[in-house]
Structure 1
């Protein structure tokens, strides 16, 4: 305790700085990370003191009582808990504004701290002696003032050591008793303000070549730097190093925590001490445990787990960064096919390496696109490591590849959809031969014939081994094979029962036919593309006739309960059939603009989504030969909805009105009837209804005269 008795009282105690160095220097953490220091006052002899100020000033200066010039913190007894001093008093001081400055000898800039204590009458009392702090923000090898951690001039590379560091560390060196003490490396200490035993060195020895990656590893040495600059790398650390070239770099940290830039990364030695790698047998799972299941066109492009993949188990003797290079070779050739190499991953990750067997590589093994037999091949792999020459090689395993296929050349291998296969023809029977791929009513009850044209080239002749499978609507119809050298189409009956079961269909709903071609064994089945469209209308289907609907409406009579008049089916096209309430099921009037409501009833022969084309036209008579009334034609196409019936509205009233002849004679007489032919077509089948058109009321005036359309 620094107390001094005099005539007027007791001087305050000396400030105590928490956490600085013994020589008074503040730490890097205090100056640049926390930005504050804590200063304590352990006691005040005069308990009546009312205020304490902490003042900071240049070395050699003095505090100035009753002035805020140097005050950096203060406390008042009145604001303390309970109005009493609770010791020690802790003062927090902002030091972010403190910087070091250049000094030729590298000395540090300093400040003094003193307390000023005031008694109730305002008389000041100052602490003595003052506390001294120093600012040192210059790291080893940096110029002064410092430039920040890990910046500035680099420390020089390590110095030559005695004995010298070996160029290669191997098992023999590690097991030599003379090396039991590890390696002694020498670092230069020829920088300003070096402090032996205080300054710290962190040394990294690594295969990495960037300091940021080195720092992510365990350092070779981390500790104080002695007067000779010698640091020891223990043998235990060296034993953990893996094979390869290693590099060294280090940084220095002084007492306050200023960190130097890292030294240049330089080679130090090579490690070659790993045991010989053990190479197991590779495998291709899709070939089965015995390797007798061939790799086919479908398996080189299939999704996992059906895709052709070579698998290689990672052995514990392998090192991260070792490279695995697989090879394949047909037993019929000496041509080796290599797969893209992969590096061995770090421990703790994958335990199996997988190499995809793409079509291009496997086709090299198969030796061409026109082979007609499966090929046996062997496969193996090498491990490449810079410290091992030559590359060790695994034993071979064996597999089969079969890319043989029948039919014309496939330009899009390994795709099994072959656009060069001629499209199959469905030829109908009958007294008059119908066009190909057309089965009309005349073919009802008759079998058709499916015909697959043949293409023969010198490279791909018709051998008689080809197997043709015929399909109609995705269902197999039959299997046939040509004879060797055949040029006429391969044919197969298409039974009427099959045609009938699959129904009618034309246009976008035409029936589909195709053929596949394969060789015995069926490894690569080629399919015709595109499918053949077969227009079928041979099946007699009675669709429900279209209906003209008079909409329901609410009859409103003043003073009475509204009555719902239900919808009904019209038997002729008249004015009421064109009147529809503005709101469905609502009062009428008001009405929608005149329109004809046509209903297509749901039927098993009109599946959901089927396009339905409604055709309306005027006819002079209701016979099949009735003449068309030009200008009355209307056509609308809509799809059958998922639920309920399909309803179509024809809104072109002038075309409908054109069917109705005006009155004739004096007095006016009702003219002869004319008719509306209303038809719809679905899946090539048409249903028709013919209705009388009567658009003159009893006064022989048209609908729009009797009830004008509302003004839009």
Structure 2
């Protein structure tokens, strides 16, 4: 064992490797509470196979608890890790001590110096038994524990569980986790119905704890799939500070929603078992009754659900089912059947219902009451009734189908299917009259309404006729205002007995000037819809006139007459182009009007941008047109694009803006070569840097004997870069000169070019370094000139040989590489340490310069761009080791810009301004580990 934080293998460079998991421990639980059964039986750590595995990879796993780190797994894989997962046993003995522990692993790539370390997984170990409390109760279930189609309130509103008092268990602020699972059995066992699963959280208050609380399981998704002889289990767990402290017993409810037979939601008894309770048969012809008459009293009981005042709900009548609830009698026989008689109240004779109802086997009849679904068409409102029709209904119960009837009580209920403002004998729809009276309107005949009137009168006051047949105070009035084809609902509610109601005056703002009409309709409380009234003129709207915009905006940068195109150069340095809206060409504008400019692609009108809105100020307005906005409309075209510019005036309450005529401007945002990444900045870091060579043929290095001879200037595009076309011109520059030493335009498309540098130009390069750059543009167009960044070209002198530097290598016999292990600690700093040997040529105080660069070949003659690095160092006394630091993360990442990139590092040092130098050392370079991250823990691209 070793104390936590002290590595026995190599210096750690941080968390790199993929995370591990522990079987049976919730991956979403950051504290990793270990279930009780796992503490008793043990489990396994699961480590995923790394993406980059190879020979001699070494895997180690560690357990950390109470500041002690224990190695629980250490294995080397000669052929790499083959299986998709590595499993490490986690025994009950290892988890025997309560508290917080962590597990993690390290992977040594090829046994070399770059290690991957996974994030630690926290585990919380607690052998204390959980407190349990009674199961939640399904409070609307039957005595047999069912939710079914007779559940009240209806099961479609959700199922309610009651969690009882949690005194002496929970504290305010504790969190209750409530979990619901469904099963295809009646006992909460067997396969789980996955789509039913639900989990909810509730932070508990003191009242919740003292009194308990309810939770409603939603019907949709969570209950609806449980249909025929299914069940659900509800469990409540209590958490404090993220730790579970108590758990309820399982609350079980049976669910049965099967509805055999028609019509209506019948066929279930109160316990949930499905039945076919009744059958409608042809009317049975009865013999004369000889033993029982109605004089013996009421022996059967029936009831019906009605609205207030005994009215039948319109929804019941619309689905043509009228349900009578018959209470079962104590002396039943298997062949019991029922005849029904009905009549309009006041009539002398009863009418027989056309069917006899067979009640079926006694065992199949619902407990308590038997619903009898009757044909509601037989009980429609009668035209001959002076008002809503009042019906009376009774039943005759025949024991065993025999001749002696038990008579029921007589039901009375009211049916109203007549809309307001209708008449009877026969019933006829009538348009309501007269039109509502505009009480506070302006004088007739025009009744002009303007802005001042609307401001002074927030409401329009009306009175409507309420003296129609069958008027009830809860009848609903709906009112519309119309103009032409425009119809707007402005009121819908019950009104007082005087017939007064108000319409907000701002409803008028959606209409154009001119005549505005009114119409209305009455509906009653049961939902019977009346006739709409005749459309009647009510007022004349004289609001301010809509604004007019008569001329396109000016764009001074495109003058004269919009003919000068806009290019990237117009926006350099963060400058915007201005559009001017001239007030002289605006009519009928008012304070509060807002103006904005719109630029549109006429070939695709869905491609447009708008500027910020400005308030009309009775003066010219200036708007900024940004490069980003215009480039959005340009949309990456490969040639100049004509776009339109106009402005709009917006006014609150107007449905349409005033739109100016458009003008056409030219966007010349097409550019040669790789598009710069930071538009409109034409200094383009994505252009490939040029390569300058002398006769020594070393990229961007001019040796001392190269400077009096011709050289070459070369550009090689990346694979994804666009070609240089015959319509392009490339201009090449050396040093600080603003004049190109050469121009290049190909006869056919090329992905690279090379042109000579005259000896006279080579001689102008100054040590220790100079620069090279180029531009690319469309031939003959001095706009959108795409500029490369300057390439540094090293200019050398003849050196004196110094001792060869060395670097740290963890395992030189296996991997003689430049790796993270060679970096100065901490290795994540990504700085290469060159060990400098003491030598008479390097007395104390000598200032040397350490150099590093990377090449794509083993001979060190193919420089990888952006890998050259250098740094000064002062030689120390004889007892102090000399370690010269050089390079940054950017240099090493440029050497290996992506996974699988091959590179060789080249390092040396110089003194006396380059007159002294060591022989360069070249080694393979690999600073990407098996998790595809660099030494500084950032990811390496694929």
- Compute the TM-score of the two structures, normalised by the length of structure 2: 0.29
The structure that has the greater radius of gyration is 1
Greater per-residue strand proportion: 2
- Compute the TM-score of the two structures, normalised by the length of structure 1: 0.37
